Copies of this chain bind each other. A is one copy, B any other.
Amino acid sequence: MICHKHKVQYYETDKMGITHHSNYIRWMEEGRTAFFESIGYPYDEFEKLGMFSPVIGINCEYRDTTTYCDEVEIDVSIISYNGVRMKMAYVMKNTKTNKTVLLATSDHCFIKKEGGIARINRAYPILHEKMLSLIESNDDNK
C-alpha cells in the first residue's frame, strides 16, 4: 500500500462549497500513478510498452466532505489481480481531521494499443509476479 497526498484546489470545489464528487475519481487515478511509480513500474512507461489499463468499473462511498485547502491522504492497494483483471482499493482521509472521506474500488483490464487483451502474465512475467506479490486483503477497507 502506498500513500499519496492531494491538496484540494479551488477549481475542484462546487457551489455547495465542497469538493465536487467527480474529483475523487480523478484523485483515485492520481493515487494509481503514485502507486505504480512507487513499485518501479511508472504507468507512463507501461503505456510506452504499448499497453493501456482502462477503468472498467468504479465504486465509491462518500463518507465525509472536503473543501478548498484541505489535504487528502490517498491510500492505494491492489486487492485482486489475475493477469487479465485487477481491482484496486482506495481509502482517502482528511489529514487535518483524520476522518475517512472516501472508500472506493476501481476495476481494470489490460489492453494492447493495437487492440485486443494484453496478457501481463505472458508478455511481462516480471511485472506479473510483482503485481501478484502486492495483493492485499481489503479487510481494512471496510
Contact = CB atoms under 8 A, between A and B. Distances in A.
Contact of A42 (B26, B47, B65, B69): B69
| Copies of this chain | 4
Contacts of A17: 15
A26 B11 contact: yes
A17 to B, nearest CB: 5
A3 to B, nearest CB: 16
Interface string A1-41: 00000000111011111101111011001100100000000
Chain A interface extent, by class:
35 or more
A90 interface: no
A125 interface: no
Closest 8 CB pairs of A and B: A13-B15, A22-B25, A58-B60, A44-B69, A21-B55, A11-B26, A15-B17, A56-B62
Given A13-B14, A22-B23, 16 more contacts: A10-B15, A11-B29, A13-B15, A14-B14, A15-B47, A18-B54, A21-B58, A22-B29, A33-B69, A43-B68, A44-B68, A55-B62, A56-B61, A56-B62, A57-B61, A58-B58
